[in-house]
Amino acid sequence: MAVKKSELYSSLWASCDSLRGGMDSSQYKDYILTLLFVKYVSDKFKGVAYGDIDVPEGGSFNDMLALIGNKNISEKMDKIIAKLAEANNLALEYDVKKLETRVRSHLKKMGFAW
């Protein structure tokens, strides 16, 4: 049975609301949009010579996935994002320490020990 586009959107939206817990959606978008961007450029440009975006070794979404279960995941994800940004002469648009503080605070609210 085919799923209607509106049902899919509703389901995705409900999933995002569930994942973000008590975090304000204006903060949550910072994390999700960054991950979506890294996923998109990794899928589209990794290994493509002369692509619009250079995805360096150690700067892809797969590198982020390899961090699952790592106790220093936030620091290492910052380094992956920094590699991607540096390879493309992009300035990082967020304060890494602020982002880390917000992630830790949210994880504590969700009951994760840090």
pLDDT digits (tens, 9 = 90+) for 60-90: 999 999 999 998 888 899 899 989 888 888 7
Read off the pTM.
0.64
Is 4 inside a domain boundary?
A: no
Is the Cβ–Cβ distance between 102 and 14 less than 8 Å?
A: no
Residue 114 lies in a domain: no
Confidence of residue 102 (pLDDT cuts 50, 70, 90): low
Domain presence at residue 104: yes
Cα–Cα distances in Å, from 35 out to 1, 50, 76, 78, 113?
Answer: 31, 23, 14, 11, 23
The pLDDT > 90 percentage for the chain reads 24
Whether residue 41 is contained in a domain is answered as yes
**Domain span holding position 85:** 14-109
Task: Report if residue 35 sits inside a domain.
Answer: yes
Give how many domains the chain has, as a whole number.
Answer: 1
Examine residue 27 and state whether it is found in any structural domain, yes or no: yes
Which residue shows structure tokens 């959606």? Answer: 25
